[in-house]
Structure 1
């Protein structure tokens, strides 16, 4: 009988998670309202989601990302996370930078919400000329982008440009890296 329970518990712990309820149990909170995307990375998965907001105030973060680590014994919540807000301005492209926090972390990460559905491609260009193409995702009525980037060694400006399907610039925002 003990062996049977051991096998059942092992299967549950090592099984994959794929929905808000499963991840909320791992995180031990009800932070995920709508799970938009799961990006598998070395050592786990990065969740992109719309947070559950319980107050009637405007949310501090409209969109969040969080790393969940896969261990030998199952999934483990980490403190690697961050959020971005759509704000009140007319920006069509929002960005947030998340620093790496743990040894197995896939971060740093640049990510953000896209509020203009004509944006199909996003490119990040650093002041030193290095370019990175972001991955864009549309799911569950949400549109966002993300790119795993290198940790900056010094403060550096970068430009995030959103392009339409035909290559026209729809939105450009300038940011400065944290160092």
Structure 2
């Protein structure tokens, strides 16, 4: 190999290395927020980003104004170029309910997960959300507080079907505030 070719290959290898180091050092949260903001939905507020692993994440967000407020989730996968939005879904919040919910099928986009059920808690008395599947299995959903006084809930499963589940919002003393069967 000629000296000139070795130099060109060395420079190319260094540049590729710098590119991948820069990509690895990017702030994942900021990259996901940047992608979310590119959706051009008015008044978007990202409530929480849940990293399922190093390459898969779910962003929970709301958009719109108080009269027409939407809540949803966006699925992200990380590839060589950074974070890519692969799917999203939102629904308008109905203020007649105390507990909002939505469902997403994850198995087409995420390798180790099948179902996502999530929502916004619309009644401040709700301190716990439980999900009971058609198969009789019960799960406690993860609750996230954001914007000082708002809460969302979600449950991600691997193989447990969540369609048709019963969702129960409970107060701190175990009183049922709202129960929904999808």
Q: Is the 8 A contact 2:68 2:92 kept in 1?
A: no
- Superposed CA deviations along residues 73-124 of structure 1, whole A, max 9, x for unmatched, are 4222212x222321242x1001111012325374420001111111111111
The residue number in structure 2 matching 1:147 is 155
| Counterpart Cα distance in 2 of 1:103 and 1:17 | 18
Shift of 1:145: 0.4
Q: Greater share of helix residues, 1 or 2?
A: 2
Q: Is structure 2 residue 105 aligned with structure 1 residue 99?
A: yes
SS of the counterpart of 1:64? Answer: strand
Shift of 1:8: 5.3
2:59 paired residue among 47, 57, 67: 47
Which has the greater radius of gyration?
Answer: 2
SS of the counterpart of 2:35? Answer: helix
2:166 paired residue among 143, 156, 159: 159
Question: How many correspondences in the alignment?
Answer: 165
SS of the counterpart of 1:23? Answer: helix
- Inter-CA distance 156–24: structure 2 relative to 1 (3 Å threshold): closer
The residue number in structure 1 matching 2:75 is 67
1:13 paired residue among 15, 20, 23: 23
Structure 2: tracts of 5 or more residues without a match: 1-10
Give runs of aligned pairs for residues 112-131 of structure 1, distance below 5 A: 112-131=119-138
| Counterpart Cα distance in 1 of 2:47 and 2:35 | 17
- Inter-CA distance 70–122: structure 2 relative to 1 (3 Å threshold): same
1:110 paired residue among 111, 117, 121: 117
Structure 1: tracts of 5 or more residues without a match: none
- Superposed CA deviations along residues 125-148 of structure 1, whole A, max 9, x for unmatched, are 123321111001111243110001
SS of the counterpart of 2:135? Answer: coil
SS of the counterpart of 1:157? Answer: coil
Q: Is structure 2 residue 68 aligned with structure 1 residue 58?
A: yes
